[in-house]
Amino acid sequence: MAFSENSRQSLIPNFLYSSSLSRNMVDLERLMNKTPDLLSPQAIASSSPSDARVSRSFVVPAPSEPGRVEMYSSAFYAACTAGGILSCGLTHTAVTPLDLVKCNMQIDPAKYKSIPSGFGVLLKEQGLRGFFRGWVPTLLGYSAQGACKYGFYEFFKKYYSDIAGPEYAAKYKTLIYLAGSASAELIADVALCPMEAVKVRVQTQPGFARGLSDGFPKFVKSEGALGLYKGLVPLWGRQLPYTMMKFASFETIVEMLYKYAIPTPKDQCSKTLQLGVSFAGGYVAGVFCAIVSHPADNLVSFLNNAKGATVSDAVKNLGLWGLFTRGLPLRIVMIGTLTGAQWGIYDGFKVFVGLPTTGGVTPPPAAIESVKA
87 neighbors 337 (Cβ within 8 angstroms)? no
Return the minimum-mean-pLDDT range out of 161-175, 195-209, 268-282, 294-308: 294-308
**Measured between alpha carbons, how far is 330 from 15 in angstroms, rounded to an integer?**
54
pLDDT in tens, 182-217: 999 999 999 999 999 999 899 888 788 888 999 999
Q: Using an 8 Å Cβ cutoff, are 178 and 124 in contact?
A: no
Which pLDDT belongs to residue 44?
Answer: 42
pLDDT score at 88? 96
Residue 163 scores a pLDDT above 80: yes
Please state, in angstroms and rounded to a whole number, the distance separating the CA atoms of residues 107 and 327: 10
Query: Which residues in 343-360 are b (16+ Cβ under 10 Å) and which e?
Result: bbbbbbbbbebbbbbbbb
Alpha-carbon gap, residue 119 to 97, rounded angstroms: 8
Distance of CA 107 to the CA centre of its chain: 29
pLDDT single digits (tens) 209-260: 888 999 999 999 999 999 999 889 989 988 898 899 999 999 999 999 999 9
pLDDT at 361: 67
* 362 pLDDT tier (thresholds 50, 70, 90): low
Q: Phi/psi class of residue 20: alpha, beta or left (left: φ > 0; alpha: ψ in -120 to 50)?
A: beta
Other C-beta atoms closer than 10 Å to the C-beta of 209 total 19
pLDDT (average), residues 291-302: 84
pLDDT of 131 higher than 50: yes
How distant, in Å, are the alpha carbons of 188, 239, 240 from that of 292?
A: 19, 10, 10
| CA-closest candidate to residue 152, choices 253, 247, 68 | 247
Q: What is the pLDDT of residue 342?
A: 95
Whole-number pLDDT of residue 210: 85
| Residue 67 banded pLDDT, cuts 50, 70, 90 | low
Q: Which pLDDT band holds residue 296 (cuts at 50, 70, 90)? A: confident
Q: What is the pLDDT averaged over residues 315-323?
A: 82
**Residue 28: pLDDT over 50:** no
